[in-house]
């Protein structure tokens, strides 16, 4: 099995190169460590004011059974926005949320698969971006969880409480893991284009090795690297206090599909580049904006909708959404089917394009 | 190794045959209708300046490049029809030292050996032989990125030999090496003579002169001269040179010599005579009769550089 020998050679070249290894593992881990140390695994404490303009049992449940159960929140209810605004200005509140009239109808329609937007008004002190960022993210997560799961279970007198302590590390860890997998783009491109540039590929093309052997040799090696990355990143996130409540294997599947997309993009870049110097900046030009747009480091909720739509064209926003859903909200496959199919489609298409282009490169 | 299965209609005695082999890149004709017949066990040197088309020729023969026109066979296999049969039968040492830098000697050899389908036992045995033969045993476990240029070159050649190929392509095997390292590689290549068919490209004339059984001089994509080193020198040269160190080279002696020969130069007691025909004994006798005392004299051997200059009208390094 020639491809296996090539895979082994690629693995040895990678793990014996401290710089490449450090780049692959230490870079994302450094992010995680910094985030972990900066914010820690402890639950942040935010004081949130609630003005319930809906006055229905649904809205009350939302406040009492969902928002109030979030350990990071200390909930105070208000009759009007004037008092809440005053407390916000005095620093007694981090934010206040208005539940609009018609909230329960919106939730009901959503549960009947009629598309609707659940609108909450939130006012917060924008001077502290990280705090507002986390509050937005937590409220968003809790609301989605409430609308999808809590109501039917409450009607059935079997309430499911949001048991996850949504800490900052819970929120940030899936994004950092995806960021680590985004780094596979430059890693893959570098590995392939270096062999092309140094003539190693040409040398082995004078042997009976066939193009498929090279493609499998690179891909298997990179998939193995992706698996090791995922294991290390999840272990690190767990060590920093990430509470995993969902199916780890499902999350793993999502992350592998994400890794495959990165390898495919790397293969395309390697095919289109003549040298490592050309491939490297091109990869970063792709990876960094994607990391930012997809929400690796912060919630995309604060971004304009057109940017969020742009991010949704690529697999990473879907991967973050699905992995956060699985890992911290405990959702099952049915809740992430759309994201899963999108990731499968992306991986298949980009990998196919990568293989076609790389084969063409080898022939030339 | 049983790779050799000559195709019908091909000459069993020939390892490499090309017929009107041509490669163009746009308007540039890199290789222009070359015809080569290289016998089994022969070491054939393809000599030419950079850009003459040597590497392009090798790349076509190794099935890395498709010819624009013409054909070629290696051990009876057609380069257009049977590339994978050819790849199993050849070993290629490219111009650049292309190695896996973070693998050691054994691992680099094992990689190529495995790709050629050798068993682990065969690889170990063959690697041991090669590593000892080229004197890399002490450093065989070091990652090759720590090797000197000469050591890398030796490994580069070993990787082409691990599967014991019938035909070996050595593209500029000593490029950029110091004289000592070059000599070590020459000695190793010399030991392979007769055992393998070797096509060696070089732009070092002394390398081709020392190693090759036959030489093809290539310029601007064409083979402009072909033969053994001696044949080329004799056939191509129309003028001979004799160098004489003598005392008492008076004006009378010089005038007499100038009246008899086409070109006569005198510098510090050295007489250099050039003409189409030179008779060594006749010249010595003449000098004695004219009163000159000859200390030493020799016929200057023509070099391949002279041949190259003669057939192309330019020096090899131009």
A286 pLDDT exceeds 50?
A: yes
- Summarize the confidence of residues A129-135 as an average pLDDT: 64
Question: Which of A191, A205, A206 is most worth mutating to test chain B (most B CB atoms within 10 A of its CB)?
Answer: A206
The reported pTM is: 0.69
Q: How far apart are CA A343 and CA A350, in angstroms?
A: 10
A364 vs chain B: nearest CA distance in angstroms?
8
pLDDT by residue (tens digit) across A297-320? Answer: 777 766 777 888 888 899 999 999
Among the listed ranges A41-50, A69-78, A99-108, B57-66, which one has the minimum average pLDDT value?
A41-50
* Shortest CA distance from B58: residue in chain A: A206
Alpha helices in chain A (DSSP H): 2-15, 18-21, 27-39, 57-61, 81-90, 103-111, 129-145, 151-155, 168-182, 184-198, 200-204, 211-239, 248-272, 276-294, 305-312, 315-324, 337-363
What are the chain B neighbours of A195 within 8 Å (beta carbons)?
Answer: none
Contact predicate B171/B54, CB 8 Å: yes
Say which range, A113-127, A176-190, A194-208, has the weakest mean pLDDT: A113-127
Per-residue tokens: B157? 């050649």
Contact A266, A185 (CB under 8 A): yes
Q: Which of A16, A202, A207 sits opposite B87 (nearest CB)?
A: A207
Using a CB-CB cut-off of 8 Å, the residues of chain A touching B111 are 5-6, 9
For B149-155, what is the mean pLDDT? Answer: 86
Phi then psi for residue B189, to 5 deg, are -65, -40
Averaged pLDDT score across all residues of chain B: 86
Task: Assess whether pLDDT exceeds 60 at residue B249.
Answer: yes
* B1 touches A at CB < 8 Å: no
Contact assignment for B117 to A208 by CB distance below 8 Å: yes
pLDDT mean over B264-285: 89
Which residues of chain B does A205 touch, with a Cβ-Cβ cutoff of 8 Å? 64
Query: Does the beta-carbon distance from A200 to B115 stay under 8 Å?
Result: no
Residue A65 pLDDT > 60, yes or no? yes
Judge whether residue A131 has pLDDT over 70. no
- pLDDT confidence band for A153 (50 / 70 / 90): very low
pLDDT for residue B109: 92
pLDDT of residue A174: 86
Q: How high is the ipTM of this complex?
A: 0.74
pLDDT of res. B132: 84
Q: What is the pLDDT of residue B172?
A: 87
Q: Of A137, B306, A10, give the one whose Cα is nearest residue B314.
A: B306
Give the mean pLDDT of B178-192. Answer: 83
Bigger pLDDT: A19 or A155? Answer: A19
pLDDT digits (tens, 9 = 90+) for B5-23: 444 445 668 899 999 999 9
Q: Is pLDDT of A117 > 50?
A: yes
B64 contact A CB<8A:
yes
Tell me which residue has tokens 């394009």. A353
Chain A residues touching residue B116 (CB < 8 angstroms): 207-208
A207 CB within 8 Å of a chain B CB = yes
Place of tokens 């820690």: A40
Q: Do B90 and A13 touch (CB under 8 A)?
A: no
- Residues in B closer than 8 angstroms to A17, CB to CB, are 102
What is the overall mean pLDDT for chain A? 79
Taking CA atoms, what residue in A is nearest to B168? A206
How much is the pLDDT for A363? 64
Banded pLDDT at A155 (limits 50, 70, 90): very low
- Please, are residues B123 and B162 in contact by the beta-carbon 8 Å criterion? yes
DSSP state, residue B142: S
> Cβ neighbours of residue A225 under 8 Å, at least 6 residues apart?
A11, A14, A24, A184, A187
Which string of b and e fits B235-252 if b means at least 16 CB within 10 Å?
ebeeebbbebebeebeee
Strand order in the sheet with B270-275: B263-267, B270-275, B240-247, B293-300
Residues 273-312 of A with CB under 8 A from B: none
Cα pseudo-dihedral B141, B144, B150, B154, rounded to 10: 70
Are the CB atoms for A243 and A164 separated by under 8 Å? yes
Contacts of B100 in chain A (CB under 8 A): 9, 12-13, 200
Q: What are phi and psi of A79, to 5 degrees?
A: -85, -35
Out of A13, A200, A205, whose CB is closest to B64? A205
First-to-last alpha carbon distance for chain B, in angstroms, is 43
- The percentage of residues in chain B with a pLDDT greater than 70, rounded to a whole number, is 93
Sign, CA torsion A99/A100/A102/A108: negative
User: Which of the 8 DSSP states describes residue B132?
Assistant: H
Q: How confident is the model at residue A154 (pLDDT cuts 50, 70, 90)?
A: very low
Within 8 A of A218 by CB-CB distance, chain B residues are none
Across the interface, do A9 and B88 touch by the CB < 8 Å criterion? Answer: no
Instruction: For residue A207, give the nearest of B99, B110, B115 by CB distance.
Output: B115
| A154-158: long-range contacts, CB 8 A cutoff, minimum separation 24 | A154/A61, A154/A65
A208 touches chain B (CB under 8 A): yes
Note the pLDDT tens digit of each residue in B196-207.
899 999 888 888
Is the minimum CB–CB distance between B80 and chain A shorter than 8 Å?
Answer: no
The CA distance from A211 to the nearest CA of chain B, in Å, is: 12
Distance of CA A142 to the CA centre of its chain: 17
Q: Give the pLDDT confidence score for residue A161 in this predicted structure.
A: 31
Chain B CB within 8 Å of residue A20 CB: no
């Amino acid at each position: 099995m020639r491809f296996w020998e090539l895979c082994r050679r690629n693995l040895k070249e990678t793990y014996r190169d401290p710089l490449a290894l450090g780049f692959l593992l230490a870079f994302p881990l450094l992010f995680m460590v910094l985030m972990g140390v900066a914010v820690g695994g402890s639950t942040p404490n935010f004081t949130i004011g609630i003005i319930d303009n809906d006055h229905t049992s649904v809205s009350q449940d939302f406040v009492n059974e969902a928002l109030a159960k979030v350990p990071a929140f200390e909930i105070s209810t208000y009759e009007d926005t004037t008092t809440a605004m005053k407390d916000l200005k005095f620093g007694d509140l981090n934010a206040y949320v208005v539940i609009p009239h018609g909230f329960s109808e919106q939730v009901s329609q959503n549960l009947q698969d009629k598309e609707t937007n659940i609108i909450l008004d939130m006012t917060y002190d924008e001077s502290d971006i990280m705090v507002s960022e986390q509050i937005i993210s937590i409220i968003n997560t809790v609301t989605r969880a409430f609308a999808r799961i809590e109501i039917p279970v409450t009607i059935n007198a079997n309430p499911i409480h949001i048991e996850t302590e949504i800490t900052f590390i819970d929120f940030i860890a899936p994004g950092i893991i995806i960021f680590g997998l985004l780094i596979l783009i430059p890693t893959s491109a570098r590995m392939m284009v270096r062999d092309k540039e140094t003539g190693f590929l040409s040398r082995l093309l004078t042997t009976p090795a066939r193009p498929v052997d090279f493609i499998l040799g690179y891909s298997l090696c990179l998939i193995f690297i992706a698996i090791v990355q995922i294991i290390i990143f999840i272990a690190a996130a767990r060590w920093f206090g990430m509470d995993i409540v969902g199916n780890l294997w499902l999350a793993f599947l999502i992350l592998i599909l994400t890794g495959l997309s990165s390898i495919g993009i790397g293969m395309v870049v390697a095919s289109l580049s003549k040298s490592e110097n050309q491939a490297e900046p091109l990869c970063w030009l792709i990876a960094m904006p994607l990391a930012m747009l997809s929400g690796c480091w912060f919630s995309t909720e604060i971004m304009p909708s057109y940017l969020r739509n742009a991010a949704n064209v690529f697999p990473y926003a879907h991967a973050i959404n699905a992995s956060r859903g699985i890992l911290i909200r405990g959702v099952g496959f049915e809740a992430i089917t759309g994201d899963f199919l999108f990731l499968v489609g992306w991986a298949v298409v980009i990998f196919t394009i990568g293989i076609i282009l790389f084969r063409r490169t080898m022939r030339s | 190794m049983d790779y050799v299965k000559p195709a019908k209609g091909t000459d069993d005695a020939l390892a490499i045959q090309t017929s009107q082999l041509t490669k163009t890149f746009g308007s540039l004709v890199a290789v222009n209708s070359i015809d080569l017949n290289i016998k089994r066990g022969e070491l054939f040197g393809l000599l030419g300046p950079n850009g003459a088309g040597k590497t392009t020729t090798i790349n076509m023969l190794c099935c890395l490049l498709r010819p624009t026109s013409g054909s070629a066979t290696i051990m009876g296999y057609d380069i257009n029809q049977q590339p994978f049969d050819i790849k199993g039968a050849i070993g290629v040492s490219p111009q650049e030292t292309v190695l896996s830098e973070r693998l050691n000697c054994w691992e680099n050899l094992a990689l190529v050996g495995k790709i050629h389908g050798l068993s682990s036992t065969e690889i170990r045995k063959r690697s041991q032989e090669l590593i000892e033969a080229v004197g890399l045993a002490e450093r065989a476990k070091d990652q090759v990125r720590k090797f000197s240029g000469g050591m890398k070159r030796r490994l580069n050649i070993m990787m082409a030999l691990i599967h014991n190929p019938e035909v070996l392509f050595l593209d500029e095997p000593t490029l950029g090496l110091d004289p000592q390292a070059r000599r070590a590689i020459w000695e190793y290549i010399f030991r392979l003579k007769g055992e393998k068919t070797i096509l060696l490209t070089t732009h070092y004339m002394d390398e081709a002169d020392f190693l090759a059984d036959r030489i093809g001089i290539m310029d601007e994509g064409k083979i402009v001269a072909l033969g053994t080193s001696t044949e080329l020198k004799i056939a191509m040269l129309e003028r001979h040179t004799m160098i004489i160190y003598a005392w008492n080279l008076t004006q009378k002696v010089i005038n007499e010599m100038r009246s008899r020969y086409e070109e006569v130069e005198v510098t510090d007691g050295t007489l250099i005579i050039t003409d189409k025909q030179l008779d060594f004994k006749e010249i010595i006798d003449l000098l004695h009769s004219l009163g000159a005392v000859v200390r030493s004299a020799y016929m200057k051997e023509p070099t391949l550089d002279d041949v190259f200059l003669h057939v192309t009208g330019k020096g090899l390094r131009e």
